[in-house]
Structure 1
Amino acid sequence: MAKPETGYAIIDAASEPDIFSLLDECNPPACCLYSEPLQPDMAELAPYLVEVTEDVRKWLDTRNTPWGMVVYTTVTMRELRHHLRKFTMVIIPGQEKPVF
């Protein structure tokens, strides 16, 4: 029997600062895509991976911001986070080191 898919929202806190209210009120399974420890100013702008529970779905349906996207997968949150972290760094032309 195939493992059921789980929905995960990738929410950009820079575009949707109310994410922290969602996390406090609904307490869904969630993690930051950046490595910890994070400076508070970076945590306020970071992308978060949030399991789409019924409460999260209702909250997402009320958003008018370009908050992010939902992906569906059979892998664990930990495996998905590991995969997505590859896409949190970019190289800017003329700079030696990648940036978030």
Structure 2
Amino acid sequence: MHHLTGPAALSMSEVAAALTRHLGHPVRYSRPGALRFAARLRERGAGWDSIGFMTTVYTLTRLGKNQPITDELADLLGRAPRTLDDFLTVQAWRWHQRAWT
């Protein structure tokens, strides 16, 4: 099993700030609790299996208990993983065009 991570552990607020910079409009992290987070996913049509998984990941991340940063992705790729800013520079169009797949 591999634990693939980016180069930095980011807070939800740091991710929101990066999205704001790259998308050109304010993105705010509202800090919902686990129940509200799950309810929002359900309102958006997510299945219960996805809701359970995403809520667990969300809660662990909020508590700072998610996977630590590893070098495994760099070892597999033969290069450093992209930063969030690098990723958003290339992929922000997906949000603008709502092209999720």
Whose RCO is larger (CA < 8 A, sep 6+)?
Answer: 2
The two structures have a TM-score, normalised by structure 2, of: 0.30
Structure number, greater radius of gyration = 2
